[in-house]
Structure 1
């Protein structure tokens, strides 16, 4: 049985700091995706919204919020939150509805209006919240966390500041060609090196910004796509949202010595690699068959880690792959042809959807100046809080 669903339409609202409501951004992205698909809003049977925790109550019920903004027409509504994986979870929810026969055509929307500066815990003081504790007790803001990742790569694999800078140079060059990107300016390695240190060793240009933005997809069954005049659409073949596998660390179990949950063997791969492995297994392809990848480059160093976790190279060889030009435009497997978060900034509920928009345009061959020649298969990847991560495989 095929698990493919068709990507009929993709749409976005440009990223930036516009000072308006996430509802406005999401509605524009949704209408753009519907127009791209050639589907009337009244024919959509379900809408799945990726929630934002920064939009008040409307942000917590994003599905209904966008349905109302587009005009109540009786569609099923669902709202999903999964930190940075919210958009992919929304795609997976839509895919499940389609494959189960609950809906033939589903609209997926994610949008955010980000605060100035880096993200901080939402909802006030919560002393039992690990995220709150990370910020308030350890002082480990997101940039500090990214800096620790970078230092580890330098210590373990010998990565250099120049390697990190070249990731930014590569992504900025692609972002300069993307009309939806917030930052559309090429940069040099010297400019990265000259930018302010934020969390040693990372500079300002090594770290993604926070942004307003939105993305939307129109997904359908393959039968609907054929009836709609699209016999060979881009297809989502796999969505991985697996959890990590680690030994039980709760110390107050009644009998931790004999409890089977405490005896889980550590995995042979990292959490991020496990996400990718599950996606490859479901899609029936391997990393050697990829034409491109879109990854969550919260920092330049983290992009190098994704190369290894996606199986594009062996552990410790991410910087080598970059230096060889394999992940650059025209390389063996371009990474972040959209420009990545380096060019967009982070709009949490929208970004995983935006990654799939880029795959859709690339696999259609409609990505313009940043087109990856002969693109046939792509993967997205991101990691969020508390074991939330995702990878989506799309093919043509």
Structure 2
């Protein structure tokens, strides 16, 4: 049996700060995806919701919330929370149902209405919660993690603040052409470096915002797609593996896993392991990738991702960036959507949005941000805290 499934519909609600309920964003995206697929809501047999934990009980049971809003139809349902990889876990759930023969048509949907400022722990004082502990004991808001990674890159490879700013410049140019992006204005290295420092060496314009937004996919079995005469984009590989990190090497509590992994690297870093597993399942190699959506929570992290997923050797990401090879029109475009630099975080939706973008790139429908010579193989990657992450391979 083929392990591939078809992406036959994509939908998004534009990112921004709209001040509305997250359910409306998800419904907008779901209806757009259904229309693109030429299907009705009643054709959907499985709903995979990606959870948003900052939007009350409906956010914790997102699959049922969206199913109810669309109209109870008897569809199977699931809800997934995996931090920033929630959308990918929802895709994995839908894929499993299709491959098991339990459904032919699945809706995957995620949406968020995010508060302003740094994400904070949910649920008040929770001393047994690693998210609460990292804020209370480490003072480690997310930008601190990003800054530590940037400093590490500077020490290892001689990266400069100008290099990091250039990532923002590239992604802002891509995002300016994306009607779903929140920030649609080009910028310059000087403007980026003139913005306030949040966590040295990273400036305000180099750290993604928190946003409202939604994204959805219609996934089907290949047999269903072929019966309808479709030649769809395929999900050929999907990895949600956990880290292989030897806790005996260094004794730090779980809330410090990210920091520990920079002190004592495993044989293969977590992000590289995610990508390797997806490549292996899809039967492709990094050299086959034509376009990538990587998780640019900060500008420096985009460079780390490029190397960890094999687009270039360690320490070489800056040279590709400076040469324009990671821009649209370059050898390996990275974040043609504009990335989180242009969207901000709508946590449950962002891994789904990556697949929306790559599906449109692989079908030549990305309009003014279309990668030339329509690509045939793409990768989307992201990471949530505490062992969550994903890598997805799409092919035509």
- TM range, smaller chain: over 0.9
Deviation string 1:230-264 (CA, Å, 9 cap, x unpaired) is 1x100001110011011134999xxxxxxxxxxxx
1:307-326 to 2 correspondences below 5 Å: 307-326=306-325
Structure 1 partner of 2:234 = 235
Aligned length: 383
1:349 aligned residue: 348
8 Å CA contact 2:246, 2:266 repeated in 1: no
Q: Which runs of 5+ in 1 are unaligned?
A: 253-264
* Alpha-carbon displacement from aligned partner over 1:5-58 (angstroms, at most 9, x marks no partner): 000100000000000000000011000000011011111111110011011110
Query: Counterpart in 1 of 2:370?
Result: 371
Contact map agreement 1:209 1:346 (CA 8 A) in 2 = yes
CA apart distance, 1:79 = 0.6
Q: For 1:1-396, list aligned pairs within 5 A.
A: 1-230=1-230, 232-249=231-248, 267-373=266-372, 374-396=374-396
Taking only aligned residues, the RMSD between alpha carbons, in angstroms, comes to 1.4
1:77 and 1:134 map into 2 onto residues whose CA distance is: 33
**Alignment TM-score, normalising by the size of structure 2:** 0.95
SS at match of 2:214: strand
Consecutive unaligned residues of structure 2, counting only runs of 5 or more, are 252-263
Preserved CA contact (<8 Å) 1:247 1:266: no
Partners of 1:322 and 1:47 in 2: CA distance? 39
Q: 2:60 and 2:193 mapped to 1: Cα distance?
A: 40
Question: Are the equivalent residues in 2 in contact too, given 1:46–1:107 (CA < 8 A)?
Answer: yes
Rounded to whole Å, the distance in 1 between the matches of 2:382 and 2:355 is 12
User: Conserved in 2, the CA contact under 8 Å of 1:7 and 1:217?
Assistant: yes
Q: Secondary structure at the match of 1:106?
A: strand
8 A Cα contact 1:50 1:349, kept in partner:
yes
Q: Deviations over 1:154-206 (max 9, x none)?
A: 11110000100100000000000000000000011110011011101100001
For residues 176 and 324 of structure 2, the distance between their equivalents in structure 1, rounded to whole angstroms, comes to 19
Q: In structure 2, what is the Cα distance between the partners aligned to 1:102 and 1:354? A: 25
SS of the residue 1:213 aligns to: strand
How far did residue 228 of structure 1 move? 2.0
Paired with 1:389 and 1:121, the residues of 2 have a C-alpha distance of: 19
Distance of 1:48 and 1:202 partners within structure 2:
36
TM-score by length of 1: 0.95
Mean Cα deviation higher: 79-88 or 316-325: 316-325
Distance 1:279 1:251, change over 3 A: closer
